Structure 1
Amino acid sequence: MRMKFEIELYEDMMGKPFCLDTYFNCRMNILIYQNGVEKEFCTSTFHAVILVGIAKGLIEIYDDEKSKFTVEMYESTLEYTFTYFQKLLTITRYEGYNGETVEMMKCRFDDFVATFVTEYERYHKAILKQDSHAFENEHYCMMRDQINILKNHVNGVI
């Protein structure tokens, strides 16, 4: 399994200096690649909040604080519920507009977290290349801390 975060920059950002706060508000598409097939996992604006929410939920599962969490997408009525049971992670999408629930995927929890952390870290490093002052941003620092915690769980340090 592979994951990719694609950020759609707003037109008014083109040709202007990189601004982290504006960047975090852009639309993000999370793509999942399984068995050679690309699938859109989710799309949302205010993507920093979405990434922090997913990471927070995964950490809480590792810490046995929760076995289930929900992340709401912005500018849509979609909600994604992550449910952990017996080393498996089931991700379902609920469409608030029509009440439809669809199972997006089922996979080993550790595989999903390892894939998420790899892409989260790549994304995090790419931001620092754009803005050497990124560590002055609260969300950026929170992301760094989450990446370190999740990497430690994946590597069996915690």
Structure 2
Amino acid sequence: MRMKFEIEPYEDMLDEPFEVSSYFLDRINMYIEKNNRMEEFCTSTFHSSILLDLAEGLINMYEQNQQPFVIEMYESTLEYTFTYFQKLVTVTRYEGYNGETVEMMKCRFDDFVEAFVKEYERYHKAILKQDRHAFENEHYCMMRDQINILKNHVNGVI
């Protein structure tokens, strides 16, 4: 399994110098590889919040007996529910506009977390390459801590 984050900067910010705080407001498109093709998983603005919430939910699944969690997308009526059962994570999408619920995917929990952590870490390092002062941003530091916690869970250290 593989995951990819694609960040879409706002057009009016393209000529501005890179700043972590404004970068975190940009739109994220998350893709997951299914059947050897990358498929869109979710899209939202305020991507730092989405990533922080997703990582927090996964950490809580490890630490609090697999409790389900919900992430609401910004600028849409979509909600994603992550449910753990028998070593599998099921992701369902609820469309608030029409009340439709769709099962997005079901896969091994550890595979999902491993793919997420790998891409989250790649994304985190890419930010530091653009701004050597990224560690001055609270959200950037929270992401680093979440990556370390999730890596420890995946590796069986915790």
TM-score, normalising length: structure 1: 0.98
Paired residues of 2:29 and 2:41 also in contact (CA < 8 A): yes
Structure 1 residue 66: deviation in Å? 4.6
* CA positional deviation for 1:19: 1.1
Whole-angstrom distance in 2 between the partners of 1:127 and 1:39: 24
1:67–1:85 contact (8 Å) kept in structure 2: no
Could you say what secondary structure the match of 1:101 adopts? strand
Which residue number in structure 2 is paired with residue 46 of structure 1?
Answer: 46
Residue 134 of structure 1 aligns with an amino acid whose one-letter code is A
| Matched pairs, number | 158
- Which residue matches 1:94? 94
2:73 match: 73
Structure 1 portions without partners, runs of 5+ = none
Alpha carbons of 1:65 and 1:137: their partners in 2 closer, same or farther (altered >3 Å)? farther
Name the amino acid aligned to 2:20.
L
The TM-score normalised by the length of structure 2 is 0.98
The Cα shift of 1:65 comes to 5.1
CA distance in 2 between counterparts of 1:101 and 1:35 reads 22
- Please name the residue that 2:15 is paired with: 15
One-letter amino acid matched to 2:6: E
Which amino acid in structure 2 is aligned with residue 59 of structure 1?
I
Runs ≥4 in structure 1, deviation > 4 angstroms? none
**Identical aligned residues as a percent:** 74
Aligned CA-pair RMSD: 0.8
- Give the letter for the 1:120 counterpart: Y
